Structure 1
Amino acid sequence: MRGFQFSNFLPDDKPIGGFDDLLKLFMQLLNYTAGDAGEALNWMTQLDKQHHLTTNEYGMGDFINDLKEKGYIKEDPRDGSTSITSKTEQTIRKSALEEIFGQLKKAGKGNHNSNKSGIGEEKNADRREYSFGDSLDQIDMTASIQNAQVNHGIGNFTLTERDLEVEEKDYKTLTSTVLMIDISHSMILYGEDRITPAKKVAMALAELIKTRYPKDTLDIVVFGNDAWTITVKDLPYLQVGPYHTNTLAGLELATDLLRRRKTHNKQIFMITDGKPTCLKENGRYYKNSIGLDRKVISKTLNMAGQCKRLKIPITTFMIAKDPYLQQFVRDFTEVNGGRAFYSSLTGLGEYIFEDYIKNRRKTVR
């Protein structure tokens, strides 16, 4: 047996070159520049000087021209500023989905099949006699008339309850999700960028629902001193503000959105790195960023309990490792009856993906 042979590692120093390779880098940089095309291109130029990303045959100027011609960026004729297009916004979402959920098994659009049959959308091969309580749209009239002719003869047509034949349908779940993203200032403090992975996950989840489960709904709520909704198109441009963390406002808005949804299955995903530090009362902010303020925590936990009574589970994705912060998340999760994941930034997407798909399979009404 020859065994293993070892040799010196020779790194690949070949330049990236080519439009497709540079486009992937450009899309990644847009996540860090909050959709600022000019800043992303400036970063690429600096990287090209240091690491020779381009070749003598294809330079940065060629790449920028191709971006314009292919519809990825546009130039404002008034001041010459560069911005991304809707095509680029969609490409960023697709790139995030491929990066985070690359192992996703392909499934039919909008399908959340369960192992139960009954009133549903898609017919299956099972047939049975009619029983009290079956809906009229389950009755196969053609088969029922044929049964009547066989059972009672053609000359004197009679249709009885025993002639009715019911076709079973596969039950499918529909889910409404609100994704809450913490945009307080702590999401960029302590030398760690937490907002970029968070919004990348949001873009991937939005693209996942849009392409695989288009009958599901996704609302996105961001919360700092206040809470407000944003659209999927806003995600590439999302930035952290000089905000405290008003988790209560985010939960109130998320709950209000879910109340309006007609689906049986509702849930909240919350990405945060810290404790609630802010409330708004009578138009004024009550803030305490030093510690776990009893007043703030109490009202936040009460809201978590209200969500439980409304049958809205909250899954918290905690991206901070401080023991006292994790203890708050444990208390919050216990009150709500939801779930908590203490995730690193690199594993955040996989956690959310697995939990989202698992919920689709088990929450059948």
Structure 2
Amino acid sequence: MEEYNQNIRKHSGFTFTKYEEEEKSPFERLLEVFQELIVHTSGDVDETLDWMDQLNLEYNLYTDDYTKADFIEDLKKHGYIRDDEDKPDGKGMVITAKTEQIVRQRALDQIFGELRKSGKGNHKTKHTGVGQDKTGEMRSYSFGDSIDQIAITESVKNAFTNNGIDDFRLTEQDLVVNDTHHSAQMSTVLMIDISHSMILYGEDRITPAKKVAMALVELIKTRYPKDSIEIIVFGNDAWPIKVKDLPYLQVGPYHTNTVAGLDLALGLLRRKKHANRQIFMITDGKPSCLNLPNGEYYKNSFGLDPHITDKCMNKAKEARKLNIPITTFMIAQDPYLQQFVEEFTAANQGKAFYTGLKGLGQMIFEDYEKNKKRNIR
């Protein structure tokens, strides 16, 4: 066998060697740990370094040749952290925009690792027209078709058939083009539940939700640059957050005001000119809060309150009339909550997934990719 392998190497012109993983520097190894922990600590550099101190006791992260002080100095030198200017005594550090982007890219690699950047990323619809993906069929040339859509071989063949060899000429009537799917843009609002239950019962649910949000944002920016995504968080109230705020996202002592979140999401999508609009909602709890006209809150954490759920159903129907599907990713597994989600989904004619934290990102990606059946208006 060894002789056989040697003959292959000899006659193939290639030289094969045993793969050896490139050795990482101490800074590169520690940076990976830092990037992972900074998401769990919601962007708190000091807390992250404290966690690394704890890990160092067990795994010897630092050495005499490369100390914690060396690592902090390199983080500053490479632009990952800086001193917090808001603290007068000079103590404390914060992450930079560079780190915010790096953790989004890391989340993308972790959740959608098989994807690569593409120049254009558009969603197919059942309509044909100008696009990237060929349908496998050809049609006659029409004014406005792009030159790169023309099927040269078939068009020349038509010219020979129609005009003959002696009087060869290529006319518009001879031209055929490769038919393609119409390119559709997508406007997405991602709603994230930040009620207190997202960290109850010893399970950290907010960190996976943050990672999914960061991955989805980075995916759209790289693979679907013409699409748009906006992030909403909802607790007692709902408010939009910027992409740069995602690493710092934390839960609060909130109830779950699903109606406020949906109301804000619909308001944002009404302004969009794109034909395809959708809402993704990540939640683990039941709706338990409403805003009252006098500025106070109506709250009920015990069971499903019809006064609250009826308002949710009205929002689901409102979204349906606007042709905006709502896809709910329900982390909790309670049967009575699943029944509510089923009724909510039926009112909207959307979709629902009942899932744990594992595989949440992949399901969101797959649903985003498959959401290509709505008409272009």
Bin the TM-score by the shorter chain.
0.7 to 0.9
Q: What's 1:108 paired with?
A: 118
Instruction: List alignment gaps of at least 5 residues for structure 2.
Output: 1-23, 148-158, 164-170
> 8 Å contact 1:139–1:164 — kept in the other structure?
no
Q: What's 2:194 paired with?
A: 183
Which of 283, 297, 301 is matched with 2:309 structurally? Answer: 297
- Which amino acid in structure 2 is aligned with residue 87 of structure 1? K
| Alignment RMSD (CA, Å) | 2.8
> 8 Å contact 1:184–1:224 — kept in the other structure?
yes
> 8 Å contact 1:114–1:173 — kept in the other structure?
yes
- Structure 2 CA distance, aligned partners of 1:231 and 1:299? 27
1:68 aligns with 2:86: no
The Cα of 1:103 is off from its aligned counterpart by 2.0
Q: What's 2:339 paired with?
A: 327
Q: What's 2:21 paired with?
A: none
Which of 280, 294, 318 is matched with 2:330 structurally? Answer: 318
- Structure 1 CA distance, aligned partners of 2:124 and 2:191? 27
- Structure 2 CA distance, aligned partners of 1:330 and 1:117? 30
Instruction: List alignment gaps of at least 5 residues for structure 1.
Output: 1-15, 141-146, 152-158
The Cα of 1:86 is off from its aligned counterpart by 0.4
Q: What's 1:144 paired with?
A: none
Return 52-61 or 106-115, whichever deviates more. Answer: 106-115
1:137 aligns with 2:144: yes
Q: TM-score, normalised by structure 2?
A: 0.80
The Cα of 1:54 is off from its aligned counterpart by 2.4
Q: What's 2:15 paired with?
A: none
Which of 345, 351, 357 is matched with 2:363 structurally? Answer: 351
Q: What's 2:50 paired with?
A: 42
> 8 Å contact 2:192–2:234 — kept in the other structure?
yes
The Cα of 1:84 is off from its aligned counterpart by 0.3
- Structure 2 CA distance, aligned partners of 1:327 and 1:167? 50
- Which amino acid in structure 2 is aligned with residue 314 of structure 1? I
Q: TM-score, normalised by structure 1?
A: 0.82
- Which amino acid in structure 2 is aligned with residue 44 of structure 1? M
> 8 Å contact 1:317–1:342 — kept in the other structure?
yes
- Which amino acid in structure 1 is aligned with residue 120 of structure 2? G
Matches within 5 A, 1:225-236: 225-236=236-247
Matches within 5 A, 1:183-262: 183-262=194-273
Say which SS state the counterpart of residue 291 (structure 1) adopts: coil
Q: What's 1:120 paired with?
A: 130
Q: What's 2:12 paired with?
A: none
> 8 Å contact 1:187–1:193 — kept in the other structure?
yes
The Cα of 1:303 is off from its aligned counterpart by 0.8
- Structure 2 CA distance, aligned partners of 1:245 and 1:230? 17
- Structure 2 CA distance, aligned partners of 1:290 and 1:251? 22
Distance 1:54 1:250, change over 3 A: same
- For these two proteins, the number of residue pairs brought into alignment is 330
Distance 1:139 1:339, change over 3 A: closer
Matches within 5 A, 1:72-91: 72-76=80-84, 78=88, 79-91=90-102
Distance 1:338 1:41, change over 3 A: same
> 8 Å contact 2:191–2:261 — kept in the other structure?
yes
The Cα of 1:167 is off from its aligned counterpart by 5.6
Say which SS state the counterpart of residue 144 (structure 2) adopts: helix
Say which SS state the counterpart of residue 221 (structure 1) adopts: strand
Q: What's 2:166 paired with?
A: none
Q: Percent identity?
A: 56
Q: What's 2:281 paired with?
A: 270
Distance 1:331 1:80, change over 3 A: same
> 8 Å contact 2:118–2:222 — kept in the other structure?
no
- Which amino acid in structure 2 is aligned with residue 357 of structure 1? E
Q: What's 2:16 paired with?
A: none
The Cα of 1:300 is off from its aligned counterpart by 0.4
- Which amino acid in structure 1 is aligned with residue 330 of structure 2? M
Return 247-256 or 166-175, whichever deviates more. Answer: 166-175
